[in-house]
Chain A
Protein backbone atom coordinates (compact mmCIF):
# COMPACT_ATOMS: atom_id res chain seq x y z
CA UNK A 1 0.00 0.00 0.00
CA UNK A 2 1.17 3.49 -0.79
CA UNK A 3 0.76 6.08 1.86
CA UNK A 4 0.49 9.71 0.85
CA UNK A 5 2.42 11.78 3.27
CA UNK A 6 2.72 15.57 3.63
CA UNK A 7 6.50 16.04 3.67
CA UNK A 8 7.38 19.51 2.40
CA UNK A 9 5.40 22.07 4.35
CA UNK A 10 4.39 25.25 2.54
CA UNK A 11 7.23 27.46 3.90
CA UNK A 12 9.75 24.96 2.58
CA UNK A 13 8.17 24.99 -0.87
CA UNK A 14 7.80 28.75 -1.00
CA UNK A 15 11.43 29.26 0.02
CA UNK A 16 12.52 26.68 -2.52
CA UNK A 17 10.81 28.44 -5.40
CA UNK A 18 11.85 31.89 -4.24
CA UNK A 19 15.41 30.59 -4.20
CA UNK A 20 15.00 29.26 -7.73
CA UNK A 21 13.61 32.55 -9.01
CA UNK A 22 16.17 34.73 -7.29
CA UNK A 23 19.11 32.50 -8.19
CA UNK A 24 18.19 32.62 -11.87
CA UNK A 25 17.84 36.38 -11.75
CA UNK A 26 21.00 36.84 -9.66
CA UNK A 27 23.05 34.63 -11.95
CA UNK A 28 21.89 36.42 -15.12
CA UNK A 29 22.28 39.93 -13.74
CA UNK A 30 25.48 39.01 -11.89
CA UNK A 31 27.00 37.58 -15.04
CA UNK A 32 26.12 40.79 -16.82
CA UNK A 33 27.70 42.89 -14.07
CA UNK A 34 30.87 40.84 -14.35
CA UNK A 35 30.91 40.86 -18.14
CA UNK A 36 28.56 43.39 -19.72
CA UNK A 37 27.70 41.53 -22.92
CA UNK A 38 25.38 44.20 -24.31
CA UNK A 39 26.55 47.67 -25.23
CA UNK A 40 24.08 50.51 -25.08
CA UNK A 41 23.73 52.41 -28.35
CA UNK A 42 23.25 55.72 -26.58
CA UNK A 43 23.66 57.38 -23.24
CA UNK A 44 19.94 57.69 -22.52
CA UNK A 45 19.81 53.96 -21.77
CA UNK A 46 20.29 52.47 -18.34
CA UNK A 47 21.23 48.86 -18.96
CA UNK A 48 23.86 48.41 -16.27
CA UNK A 49 21.79 50.54 -13.93
CA UNK A 50 18.82 48.18 -14.27
CA UNK A 51 20.97 45.07 -14.03
CA UNK A 52 22.45 46.26 -10.76
CA UNK A 53 19.06 47.37 -9.51
CA UNK A 54 17.63 43.91 -10.24
CA UNK A 55 20.68 42.20 -8.74
CA UNK A 56 20.30 44.10 -5.50
CA UNK A 57 16.50 43.68 -5.35
CA UNK A 58 16.71 39.93 -5.88
CA UNK A 59 19.62 39.87 -3.46
CA UNK A 60 17.29 41.13 -0.74
CA UNK A 61 14.59 38.65 -1.76
CA UNK A 62 17.10 35.81 -1.77
CA UNK A 63 18.41 36.83 1.64
CA UNK A 64 14.93 36.91 3.13
CA UNK A 65 14.17 33.51 1.64
CA UNK A 66 17.39 31.88 2.85
CA UNK A 67 17.01 33.35 6.33
CA UNK A 68 13.36 32.26 6.49
CA UNK A 69 14.33 28.72 5.50
CA UNK A 70 17.02 28.63 8.17
CA UNK A 71 14.49 29.75 10.78
CA UNK A 72 12.13 27.05 9.54
CA UNK A 73 14.85 24.49 10.20
CA UNK A 74 14.09 25.02 13.87
CA UNK A 75 10.28 25.09 13.78
CA UNK A 76 9.32 22.91 10.83
CA UNK A 77 8.71 19.17 10.68
CA UNK A 78 11.42 16.52 10.92
CA UNK A 79 12.12 16.57 7.17
CA UNK A 80 12.89 20.27 7.12
CA UNK A 81 14.75 20.30 10.44
CA UNK A 82 18.40 21.23 10.56
CA UNK A 83 19.05 17.64 11.69
CA UNK A 84 18.00 16.38 8.27
CA UNK A 85 21.11 18.01 6.81
CA UNK A 86 23.50 15.94 8.92
CA UNK A 87 22.54 12.35 8.03
CA UNK A 88 25.94 11.01 9.01
CA UNK A 89 25.31 11.93 12.64
CA UNK A 90 23.25 8.77 13.16
CA UNK A 91 24.20 5.17 12.48
CA UNK A 92 21.22 4.59 10.17
CA UNK A 93 22.10 7.76 8.34
CA UNK A 94 25.67 6.64 7.75
CA UNK A 95 24.55 3.28 6.41
CA UNK A 96 22.03 4.93 4.10
CA UNK A 97 24.65 7.45 3.00
CA UNK A 98 27.07 4.74 1.89
CA UNK A 99 24.26 2.82 0.24
CA UNK A 100 23.21 5.91 -1.69
CA UNK A 101 26.75 6.69 -2.78
CA UNK A 102 27.15 3.12 -4.01
CA UNK A 103 23.92 3.42 -5.94
CA UNK A 104 25.12 6.62 -7.63
CA UNK A 105 28.47 5.11 -8.52
CA UNK A 106 26.89 1.90 -9.91
CA UNK A 107 28.62 -0.20 -7.27
CA UNK A 108 25.45 -1.04 -5.38
CA UNK A 109 21.93 -1.86 -6.46
CA UNK A 110 19.79 -1.04 -3.50
CA UNK A 111 18.37 2.43 -2.96
CA UNK A 112 17.99 3.50 0.65
CA UNK A 113 14.46 4.64 1.22
CA UNK A 114 14.17 8.27 2.31
CA UNK A 115 10.94 10.08 3.02
CA UNK A 116 12.63 13.48 3.05
CA UNK A 117 16.06 14.22 1.60
CA UNK A 118 18.21 11.32 0.56
CA UNK A 119 21.38 11.34 2.66
CA UNK A 120 23.81 12.28 -0.10
CA UNK A 121 21.55 15.08 -1.29
CA UNK A 122 21.08 16.32 2.26
CA UNK A 123 24.85 16.59 2.67
CA UNK A 124 25.09 18.49 -0.60
CA UNK A 125 22.37 20.88 0.58
CA UNK A 126 24.37 21.62 3.68
CA UNK A 127 27.23 22.71 1.40
CA UNK A 128 24.79 24.71 -0.71
CA UNK A 129 23.52 26.60 2.32
CA UNK A 130 27.11 27.51 3.11
CA UNK A 131 27.52 28.83 -0.45
CA UNK A 132 24.24 30.77 -0.17
CA UNK A 133 25.43 32.41 3.02
CA UNK A 134 28.79 33.09 1.42
CA UNK A 135 27.11 34.83 -1.55
CA UNK A 136 24.96 36.90 0.77
CA UNK A 137 27.83 37.92 3.02
CA UNK A 138 30.32 38.65 0.23
CA UNK A 139 27.61 40.36 -1.83
CA UNK A 140 26.56 42.73 0.92
CA UNK A 141 30.19 43.39 1.82
CA UNK A 142 31.01 44.65 -1.68
CA UNK A 143 27.60 46.30 -1.90
CA UNK A 144 28.41 48.32 1.24
CA UNK A 145 31.34 49.99 -0.49
CA UNK A 146 29.06 52.57 -2.07
CA UNK A 147 28.44 54.06 1.37
CA UNK A 148 31.40 53.84 3.74
CA UNK A 149 30.17 54.17 7.28
CA UNK A 150 26.70 53.01 6.27
CA UNK A 151 24.80 49.96 7.53
CA UNK A 152 26.29 47.24 5.33
CA UNK A 153 29.75 48.71 5.49
CA UNK A 154 29.38 48.87 9.24
CA UNK A 155 28.60 45.20 9.71
CA UNK A 156 30.47 43.60 6.80
CA UNK A 157 33.00 46.20 5.66
CA UNK A 158 35.73 44.58 7.75
CA UNK A 159 35.71 41.68 5.30
CA UNK A 160 36.89 43.96 2.52
CA UNK A 161 39.98 44.59 4.61
CA UNK A 162 40.39 41.04 5.89
CA UNK A 163 39.90 39.19 2.61
CA UNK A 164 40.50 42.07 0.21
CA UNK A 165 37.70 43.49 -1.92
CA UNK A 166 39.07 42.10 -5.19
CA UNK A 167 39.27 38.56 -3.79
CA UNK A 168 35.74 38.87 -2.46
CA UNK A 169 34.59 39.84 -5.92
CA UNK A 170 36.45 36.99 -7.54
CA UNK A 171 35.03 34.52 -5.01
CA UNK A 172 31.52 35.95 -5.40
CA UNK A 173 31.91 35.47 -9.14
CA UNK A 174 33.39 31.97 -8.82
CA UNK A 175 30.71 30.75 -6.44
CA UNK A 176 28.12 31.65 -9.07
CA UNK A 177 29.65 28.94 -11.26
CA UNK A 178 29.64 26.46 -8.39
CA UNK A 179 25.94 27.18 -7.97
CA UNK A 180 25.35 26.68 -11.69
CA UNK A 181 27.08 23.30 -11.38
CA UNK A 182 24.90 22.49 -8.39
CA UNK A 183 21.68 23.34 -10.24
CA UNK A 184 22.60 20.99 -13.09
CA UNK A 185 23.33 18.24 -10.59
CA UNK A 186 20.19 18.99 -8.57
CA UNK A 187 17.80 18.84 -11.51
CA UNK A 188 19.43 15.68 -12.78
CA UNK A 189 19.29 13.94 -9.40
CA UNK A 190 15.69 15.02 -8.94
CA UNK A 191 14.82 13.47 -12.27
CA UNK A 192 16.78 10.28 -11.53
CA UNK A 193 15.11 9.75 -8.16
CA UNK A 194 11.73 10.56 -9.59
CA UNK A 195 12.22 7.81 -12.15
CA UNK A 196 13.89 5.29 -9.92
CA UNK A 197 12.15 5.76 -6.58
CA UNK A 198 8.78 6.56 -8.12
CA UNK A 199 7.62 8.25 -4.96
CA UNK A 200 6.93 11.76 -6.17
CA UNK A 201 10.32 13.40 -5.76
CA UNK A 202 9.51 15.96 -8.43
CA UNK A 203 5.85 16.62 -7.75
CA UNK A 204 6.58 16.74 -4.02
CA UNK A 205 8.29 20.09 -4.25
CA UNK A 206 5.18 21.49 -5.97
CA UNK A 207 2.51 19.82 -3.86
CA UNK A 208 4.32 18.91 -0.69
CA UNK A 209 3.14 15.26 -0.84
CA UNK A 210 5.24 12.20 -1.42
CA UNK A 211 4.17 8.61 -1.80
CA UNK A 212 5.60 6.34 0.77
CA UNK A 213 5.53 2.61 0.52
CA UNK A 214 4.70 1.61 4.07
CA UNK A 215 6.69 -1.62 3.93
CA UNK A 216 9.81 0.49 3.29
CA UNK A 217 9.46 2.58 6.40
Chain B
Protein backbone atom coordinates (compact mmCIF):
# COMPACT_ATOMS: atom_id res chain seq x y z
CA UNK B 1 0.00 0.00 0.00
CA UNK B 2 2.87 2.34 0.85
CA UNK B 3 5.97 2.55 -1.34
CA UNK B 4 9.11 4.35 -0.16
CA UNK B 5 7.13 5.63 2.80
CA UNK B 6 4.24 7.21 0.87
CA UNK B 7 0.89 5.87 -0.38
CA UNK B 8 1.18 4.44 -3.87
CA UNK B 9 -0.41 6.35 -6.74
CA UNK B 10 -3.15 3.76 -7.13
CA UNK B 11 -3.98 3.96 -3.42
CA UNK B 12 -4.28 7.74 -3.54
CA UNK B 13 -6.57 7.41 -6.54
CA UNK B 14 -8.72 4.84 -4.75
CA UNK B 15 -8.88 7.20 -1.79
CA UNK B 16 -9.87 10.10 -4.04
CA UNK B 17 -12.59 7.96 -5.61
CA UNK B 18 -13.90 6.75 -2.24
CA UNK B 19 -12.96 3.16 -2.96
CA UNK B 20 -10.71 2.42 0.02
CA UNK B 21 -11.99 0.54 3.02
CA UNK B 22 -11.82 2.05 6.49
CA UNK B 23 -8.48 0.69 7.79
CA UNK B 24 -6.77 1.84 4.59
CA UNK B 25 -8.51 5.23 4.74
CA UNK B 26 -7.22 5.64 8.27
CA UNK B 27 -3.62 4.84 7.26
CA UNK B 28 -3.74 7.17 4.25
CA UNK B 29 -5.37 10.05 6.16
CA UNK B 30 -2.93 9.80 9.04
CA UNK B 31 -0.04 9.93 6.61
CA UNK B 32 -1.48 12.86 4.67
CA UNK B 33 -1.98 14.74 7.90
CA UNK B 34 1.80 15.03 8.28
CA UNK B 35 3.12 14.67 4.71
CA UNK B 36 3.08 17.85 2.66
CA UNK B 37 4.19 16.16 -0.56
CA UNK B 38 1.31 13.68 -0.35
CA UNK B 39 -1.13 16.54 0.29
CA UNK B 40 0.01 17.96 -3.05
CA UNK B 41 -0.17 14.54 -4.69
CA UNK B 42 -3.70 14.04 -3.40
CA UNK B 43 -4.68 17.49 -4.63
CA UNK B 44 -3.43 16.65 -8.11
CA UNK B 45 -5.08 13.22 -8.05
CA UNK B 46 -8.43 14.67 -6.99
CA UNK B 47 -8.21 17.37 -9.63
CA UNK B 48 -7.37 14.74 -12.22
CA UNK B 49 -10.19 12.37 -11.24
CA UNK B 50 -12.70 15.23 -11.12
CA UNK B 51 -11.60 16.71 -14.46
CA UNK B 52 -11.43 13.33 -16.17
CA UNK B 53 -14.92 12.49 -14.96
CA UNK B 54 -16.35 15.75 -16.29
CA UNK B 55 -14.47 15.50 -19.58
CA UNK B 56 -15.58 11.89 -20.08
CA UNK B 57 -19.18 12.79 -19.25
CA UNK B 58 -19.09 15.68 -21.73
CA UNK B 59 -17.48 13.47 -24.39
CA UNK B 60 -20.11 10.80 -23.87
CA UNK B 61 -22.92 13.32 -24.03
CA UNK B 62 -21.49 14.85 -27.21
CA UNK B 63 -21.17 11.41 -28.78
CA UNK B 64 -24.79 10.50 -27.99
CA UNK B 65 -26.01 13.85 -29.33
CA UNK B 66 -24.00 13.45 -32.50
CA UNK B 67 -25.39 9.94 -33.03
CA UNK B 68 -28.92 11.31 -32.57
CA UNK B 69 -28.31 14.15 -34.98
CA UNK B 70 -27.09 11.70 -37.61
CA UNK B 71 -30.13 9.48 -37.07
CA UNK B 72 -32.64 12.32 -37.05
CA UNK B 73 -31.00 13.71 -40.21
CA UNK B 74 -31.53 10.28 -41.80
CA UNK B 75 -35.22 10.13 -40.84
CA UNK B 76 -36.12 13.28 -42.65
CA UNK B 77 -34.68 11.85 -45.83
CA UNK B 78 -37.03 8.83 -45.53
CA UNK B 79 -40.66 8.70 -46.78
CA UNK B 80 -43.17 9.46 -43.98
CA UNK B 81 -44.31 5.89 -43.06
CA UNK B 82 -40.70 4.73 -42.79
CA UNK B 83 -39.97 7.76 -40.58
CA UNK B 84 -42.72 6.81 -38.12
CA UNK B 85 -41.50 3.20 -38.05
CA UNK B 86 -37.93 4.29 -37.35
CA UNK B 87 -39.10 6.51 -34.49
CA UNK B 88 -40.88 3.55 -32.90
CA UNK B 89 -37.79 1.36 -33.25
CA UNK B 90 -35.55 3.99 -31.65
CA UNK B 91 -38.03 4.42 -28.80
CA UNK B 92 -37.98 0.68 -28.17
CA UNK B 93 -34.20 0.73 -28.34
CA UNK B 94 -34.05 3.39 -25.65
CA UNK B 95 -36.21 1.30 -23.35
CA UNK B 96 -34.10 -1.77 -24.07
CA UNK B 97 -30.80 0.04 -23.41
CA UNK B 98 -32.17 1.45 -20.18
CA UNK B 99 -33.25 -2.00 -18.99
CA UNK B 100 -30.01 -3.62 -20.10
CA UNK B 101 -27.98 -1.06 -18.17
CA UNK B 102 -29.89 -1.94 -15.05
CA UNK B 103 -29.49 -5.67 -15.46
CA UNK B 104 -25.79 -5.78 -16.29
CA UNK B 105 -24.89 -4.57 -12.80
CA UNK B 106 -25.04 -6.67 -9.69
CA UNK B 107 -28.59 -7.15 -8.38
CA UNK B 108 -31.62 -5.11 -9.33
CA UNK B 109 -31.22 -1.68 -7.80
CA UNK B 110 -34.05 0.18 -6.14
CA UNK B 111 -34.38 3.60 -7.70
CA UNK B 112 -35.33 6.58 -5.60
CA UNK B 113 -35.63 10.27 -6.45
CA UNK B 114 -34.77 12.65 -3.63
CA UNK B 115 -35.53 16.32 -3.32
CA UNK B 116 -33.90 18.61 -0.76
CA UNK B 117 -35.18 18.22 2.81
CA UNK B 118 -38.41 20.10 3.25
CA UNK B 119 -39.95 18.17 6.07
CA UNK B 120 -40.69 15.19 3.81
CA UNK B 121 -38.61 12.02 3.80
CA UNK B 122 -38.38 9.51 0.97
CA UNK B 123 -39.03 6.02 2.22
CA UNK B 124 -37.82 2.85 0.59
CA UNK B 125 -37.36 -0.80 1.50
CA UNK B 126 -33.86 -1.73 2.72
CA UNK B 127 -32.76 -4.40 0.26
CA UNK B 128 -30.13 -4.56 -2.50
CA UNK B 129 -28.32 -1.68 -4.15
CA UNK B 130 -29.80 1.80 -4.19
CA UNK B 131 -29.94 4.08 -7.21
CA UNK B 132 -30.27 7.60 -5.91
CA UNK B 133 -31.32 10.44 -8.16
CA UNK B 134 -30.75 13.67 -6.29
CA UNK B 135 -32.61 16.72 -7.47
CA UNK B 136 -29.78 19.12 -8.41
CA UNK B 137 -31.88 22.22 -9.00
CA UNK B 138 -30.37 25.32 -7.38
CA UNK B 139 -27.23 23.51 -6.29
CA UNK B 140 -24.04 25.56 -6.28
CA UNK B 141 -22.66 25.06 -9.81
CA UNK B 142 -19.62 22.80 -9.80
CA UNK B 143 -18.12 20.30 -12.19
CA UNK B 144 -18.45 17.54 -9.62
CA UNK B 145 -20.02 17.05 -6.22
CA UNK B 146 -19.11 14.98 -3.21
CA UNK B 147 -22.05 12.89 -2.08
CA UNK B 148 -22.04 11.59 1.46
CA UNK B 149 -24.49 9.30 3.19
CA UNK B 150 -24.75 9.63 6.96
CA UNK B 151 -26.99 7.75 9.34
CA UNK B 152 -29.37 9.26 11.91
CA UNK B 153 -26.43 9.76 14.29
CA UNK B 154 -24.59 11.74 11.59
CA UNK B 155 -21.97 9.00 11.20
CA UNK B 156 -20.34 8.45 7.81
CA UNK B 157 -21.85 5.45 6.04
CA UNK B 158 -20.79 5.84 2.45
CA UNK B 159 -19.41 8.45 0.10
CA UNK B 160 -18.78 9.20 -3.53
CA UNK B 161 -16.18 11.96 -3.90
CA UNK B 162 -16.96 13.09 -7.43
CA UNK B 163 -20.48 12.77 -8.81
CA UNK B 164 -21.72 14.83 -11.74
CA UNK B 165 -25.09 16.35 -12.67
CA UNK B 166 -26.89 14.91 -15.64
CA UNK B 167 -30.31 16.13 -16.79
CA UNK B 168 -30.88 18.01 -13.55
CA UNK B 169 -30.05 15.09 -11.27
CA UNK B 170 -27.00 13.71 -9.52
CA UNK B 171 -27.10 9.99 -9.98
CA UNK B 172 -25.23 7.76 -7.54
CA UNK B 173 -25.40 4.08 -6.79
CA UNK B 174 -24.88 2.74 -3.29
CA UNK B 175 -23.84 -0.87 -3.63
CA UNK B 176 -23.27 -1.64 0.03
CA UNK B 177 -25.93 -3.15 2.24
CA UNK B 178 -27.70 -0.60 4.42
CA UNK B 179 -29.63 -1.51 7.50
CA UNK B 180 -33.04 -0.03 8.27
CA UNK B 181 -33.22 3.46 9.69
CA UNK B 182 -32.97 7.14 9.00
CA UNK B 183 -30.30 8.40 6.60
CA UNK B 184 -29.32 11.74 5.16
CA UNK B 185 -27.68 12.19 1.79
CA UNK B 186 -25.48 15.27 1.69
CA UNK B 187 -24.18 16.91 -1.42
CA UNK B 188 -21.17 19.22 -1.31
CA UNK B 189 -19.97 21.42 -4.14
CA UNK B 190 -16.18 21.57 -4.12
CA UNK B 191 -14.97 24.36 -1.87
CA UNK B 192 -18.43 25.21 -0.57
CA UNK B 193 -18.95 24.39 3.08
CA UNK B 194 -22.73 24.27 3.30
CA UNK B 195 -24.09 21.00 2.00
CA UNK B 196 -27.49 20.29 0.48
CA UNK B 197 -29.24 17.55 2.41
CA UNK B 198 -31.80 14.95 1.38
CA UNK B 199 -33.61 12.72 3.84
CA UNK B 200 -34.05 9.01 3.26
CA UNK B 201 -35.81 6.40 5.38
CA UNK B 202 -34.99 2.73 4.87
CA UNK B 203 -37.70 0.44 6.16
- Judge: A and B partners, yes or no: no
